[in-house]
Amino acid sequence: MECIFCNIVEKKSEAEILFEDDKIVAFLDIQPINYGHTLVVPKKHYDNFLTVPRNDLADIVKATQFIAGAVKRSVKADGFNVITNNGDSAGQTVYHFHFHIIPRFNEDFTFKPRIKNYGTGALREYADKIRSIISKYKDVYNGK
Ligand code: AMP
Ligand code: ZN
């Protein structure tokens, strides 16, 4: 399967690489929301956040924290977003897991989705639904 990020990892496609180690590569997004918008990509191919093995997450998050600090400082951003889009509906276009680091400035537009309100009882209903799945899988989470 052809994957643009695997090609970048393997140096078969060009990218403006900012940092790499044995686990991750970080490079500039070619269609930035703000200049300096960076992607942190594990060298191994995983389709999305849910399929990244737990043992690999710490390395990716550690690198993302380090690179986010460098990006923020270098473009003198006021803040930044770290996000990951998962699935078409969430805007994922490259199915090789990655974190976006997006520098943000006080004068930026905000990109908050329209906020919904929970109707009577619905907050509890949604919480119950999620809690029941969590309790079903918590042994898996705890490695039992
Ligand atoms: P997502 O939509 O969350 O899957 O993010 C994919 C990101 O990859 C988009 O922001 C694209 O602009 C970026 N992108 C796609 N191809 C390349 C490439 N060859 N080099 C750098 N960034 C890329
Ligand atoms: Zn890939």
Residue nearest to atom 13 of ligand 1 (CA): 29
Is the pTM value of this prediction over 0.85? yes
30 lines ligand 1 (CB under 6 A): yes
Residue 63 confidence (pLDDT) = 97
Determine the pLDDT at residue 111: 72
d(CA 138, CA 125): 20
Q: Does 119 have pLDDT greater than 80? A: yes
Is pLDDT of 78 > 80?
yes
The CA 11 to ligand 2 mean position distance, Å, reads: 12
Is 90 exceeded by the pLDDT of residue 23? Answer: yes
Beta strand 38-42 with 99-104 is antiparallel
Confidence of residue 65 (pLDDT cuts 50, 70, 90): very high
Any catalytic annotation for residue 98?
yes
Kindly give the distance from the C-alpha atom of residue 94 to the centroid of ligand 1, in angstroms, as a whole number.
Answer: 6
Verify whether ligand 1 is closer than 6 Å to residue 29 (CB atom): yes
Residue 20 has pLDDT above 90, yes or no: yes
| Domains detected in the chain | 4-113 (3.30.428.10)
* pLDDT tops 80 at residue 118: yes
Give all strands (DSSP E) within 3-135, no chain letters: 17-20, 24-28, 38-42, 79-83, 99-104
Q: Give residue 31 CA to ligand 1 midpoint distance, Å.
A: 7
Q: What pLDDT, in 10s, does the model give residues 31-57?
A: 999 999 999 999 999 999 999 999 999
**The one catalytic residue among 37, 96, 98, 100:** 98
Rounded to whole angstroms, the Cα distance separating 30 from 67 reads 17
Query: How sure is the predictor about 18, in pLDDT bands with cuts at 50, 70 and 90?
Result: very high
